[in-house]
Amino acid sequence: MSTLPPSYISCISRLLGNDTAAFLRSYEQPRAFGLRLNPLKLRAGDRVTENLIGLFGLKPIPWCSDGYFYEESIRPGRHPFHAAGLYYIQEPSAMIAAELLDPQPGELVLDLAAAPGGKATQIAGKMNGEGLLIANEIHPARAKILSGNVERLGISNTLVTQSSPQQLSERFPERFDRVLLDAPCSGEGMFRKDPDAAKQWSPEAVDACAVRQRDILPHAAAMLKPGGTLVYSTCTFNTLENEEIIADFVSRQPEFRLIREERMWPHLGQGEGHYAAVLRKEASSLPDEPEAKPTRTSKPRKNGSLPTLEDAAIQTFRTFAEEVLPGFRLPPNGSPLLFGDALYWMPVSPNTPASSKSLSGLRVLRPGLHLGDFRKSRFEPAHALAMAVAAEDAALTSDYSADSPEIAAYWRGETLPASPGMKGWGLTTVDGLPLGWFKASDGQQKNRLPKGLRSLSP
């Protein structure tokens, strides 16, 4: 409590009244730790899931079906299961926003301020690889972290963009079934986790955040289809950035209706606190436009279209996959896309707002599933592909237990011995779940785990 600014305590006292003392005492209590299991890799009741729950002593989080509490001493971020994408470490209260958004498989969804990726990966898990998620983050360093988390969890139907809300709203008016805006805020719910954050707090900082939120929210709303759901959330407590933002927005946007507001408090439950509002768009906000005149289309070539670079690249990949990943099938709704030497499988859903043409001019970090790269006329599979496939898809695997010295060595980037006759690309798996690629030759499994993902102390 000694780190809390007096002006902040005054604000909380006006907000909570008789509950202020209980709230302030929560700062003296240990904070809660949480993680979400990744439904793209795990299923409730399967062997690995049950072993993981027992290994970490996990206890269910009531408001999130995939969420669990764990004790701080467990440190699951240092376990190979984390590198294998089996879970995402996330503050428990923060899980409420994606639960309220309730995305469905096959929908078009936007997470407008998505870094570091907790809510985006939660949304993707609920979509189960069907439909399209655009996860956007305007800040370059945070966008890279977001992209890395999308890759680690094996998500194939997500585009990671790095654009301003205005750029996106101009490009995609009323195109998404659901939009999440986890708005940049004063972060009052972070004070127990990060006491230094409290030192940056001031009433002026709160006012500045509210101004920014009022600017961003209309752009999020403009991209939502009529009948769609918008969730606005923050990890702060003051009403200026929460209820007052929503009340002002609804008063200015009559096509929106407030469905629900949810408050999570650290003195009333296990978590740092969160605010979320669920809004429904009941009518279009676009101006009526004159009916567009039909455009002339060019006649198809009699002998079909000429092959593109993408056609040649995807055929090379299919040849590679027939040998190395005979059980793998590319997602049905997609198309190949070359970014320089990198080949992606870009998700394309019915009525999708995203295509290679519509993304022109936007900063795109990850236009779908990274399949691999062409280097000196040869194809090398991407780490993202290893994370998106199942072990049974691969022709060649080397499986080890999570506590084995081989997994520790692989995670450090070391070469492992290969059995006689082992040759070519294969997956190193931990308890049957992919951790990364190796390439076997001359009695060795040459390590292909990206250097940036290797650990010195697994």
| CA–CA distance, 399 with 181 (Å, rounded to integer) | 40
Q: Which residues contact 312 (CB under 8 A, 6 or more apart)?
A: none
State yes or no: pLDDT of 295 exceeds 70.
Answer: no
Q: Which two tokens stand for residue 443?
A: 């009695």
Residues 229-286: tens digit of each pLDDT: 999 999 999 999 999 999 999 999 999 999 999 999 999 999 999 999 999 999 987 8
Whether 185 is catalytic: no
d(CA 408, CA 414): 9
Helix (H/G/I), strand (E/B), else coil: 457: coil
**Beta-ladder partners of 429:** 399, 434
Count other Cβ atoms within 10 Å, centred on residue 228.
22
pLDDT band at 294 (very low <50, low <70, confident <90, very high): very low
Of the residues 11, 64, 185, 235, which is catalytic? 235
Confidence of residue 296 (pLDDT cuts 50, 70, 90): very low
pLDDT per position as a tens digit, 368-415: 999 999 987 789 999 999 999 999 999 999 999 999 999 999 999 999
Contact predicate 410/417, CB 8 Å: no
DSSP strand E in 341-443: where? Answer: 342-347, 364-367, 369-375, 378-381, 397-400, 416-417, 424-430, 433-441
pLDDT 10s digits, 31-84: 999 999 999 999 888 899 999 999 999 999 999 999 999 999 999 999 999 999
- Please name each of the domains of the chain with its CATH number: 309-384 (3.10.450), 390-453 (3.10.450.720)
pLDDT, tens digit, 9 for 90 and up, residues 319-359:
999 999 999 999 988 999 998 899 999 998 766 666 667 78
Quick one: CA dihedral 313, 314, 316, 321, positive or negative? positive
Backbone torsions φ then ψ of 376, nearest 5 degrees: 55, 50
Res 304: pLDDT:
52
pLDDT (tens digit per residue) in 103-146: 999 999 999 999 999 999 999 999 999 999 999 999 999 999 99
pLDDT at position 348 is 84
pLDDT at 455: 83
Amino acid code (one letter) for 200:
Q
Beta strands in 153-212 (DSSP E): 158-161, 176-182
Over the chain, what is the mean pLDDT? 92
For residue 103, what are the contacts with CB-CB under 8 A and spacing of at least 6?
Answer: 109, 123, 126, 127, 131, 133, 177, 178
